[in-house]
Amino acid sequence: LLACGHIRPWQLSGVYVHHFLQAAADDFERHCREVCAKLKVPLSVQKVDARHLHGCSPEDAARRARYAALAEVVQAEWPEVHDVVLAQHADDQVETLLLALSRGAGLPGLACMPAVAERHGVTYHRPWLDVPGSQLRDALRAAGETWVEDPTNTDTRYTRNRIRAQLLPVIEQAFPSFRQTFARSASHAAQAQTLLQELAEQDLQIVGNPPAIKALQQLSEARQSNVLRLWLALEHSQASAAQLQALLVQVKACTTRGHHIDIKVGRGFVRRDGAVLRCYNL
């Protein structure tokens, strides 16, 4: 907010999303109001309840609610605005990458947070992804500015906090430039994922939507997996690695008219319907 205020203060607005996840959130809101009043920047406070989103971790639920609220306020209050700036920094990116590795994530997960991304009709910018958090805090101190710390940041029951408090200091001792090199790896993963997405879109034109089984069988297993993930995403479904592998086995074995395919995928099923596959969500 301070940096943007130096560039175009007359075009700046602030948004605070209150998640109702901890008592300190009211203090966060007061701090945001004080900062925006000082800078003469209009502030919109969006209140969301992310506590009971089914099928999501608390962090995922809060993230989904936050982005939905940001898009809603931008479109409702400032329809001429199409860009939102976020303050995630290099440490956040490293933590995201290590979390993705710990979960066995594929390229989309390893790509981490993009510097520029579009969601819900809004373009999000993250200009600090190559800047360590310590450097940002030093800059705030030099400017005489204060900030608030999330009290849950020291709670090592959360995996991300254990990474921050226990793992990153050890990695920094062994690899002092790890923030830059990890960010470069995430960038390579993002570039590779872009290529896979383009290939999946081309293959979907070949196999059709819904995908024809015989056309799928003409592709390599890797390309089958790639295009099926895209197709499932378009059907608002997502397969685990085990579910997708089971589906690939069935597609390969489907050489007779009577072969039956019925695989649990996400919250629904993929079933054979004559010559094609269809997705049925519950």
Model confidence pLDDT, tens digit, residues 132-191: 999 999 999 999 998 988 888 888 888 889 999 999 999 999 999 999 999 899 989 999
pLDDT value for 6? 85
Query: Would you list the DSSP string of 213-281?
Result: HHHHHTS-HHHHHHHHHHHHHHTT----HHHHHHHHHHHHH--STT---EEEETTEEEEEETTEEEEEE
pLDDT value for 281? 87
What is the DSSP pairing of strand 268-273 with strand 276-281?
antiparallel
Cα–chain-centroid distance for residue 121? 15
Task: Please list the residues that pair with 224 across neighbouring strands.
Answer: none
Query: Is the pTM for the entire model greater than 0.85?
Result: no
HSE value, Cβ hemisphere, 13 Å, CA-based, for 130: 9
Contact 254, 213 (CB under 8 A): yes
Cα–chain-centroid distance for residue 258? 41
Give the range among 95-104, 154-163, 267-276 with minimum mean pLDDT.
154-163
* Rounded mean pLDDT, 78-88: 89
- Greater pLDDT, 11 or 245: 245
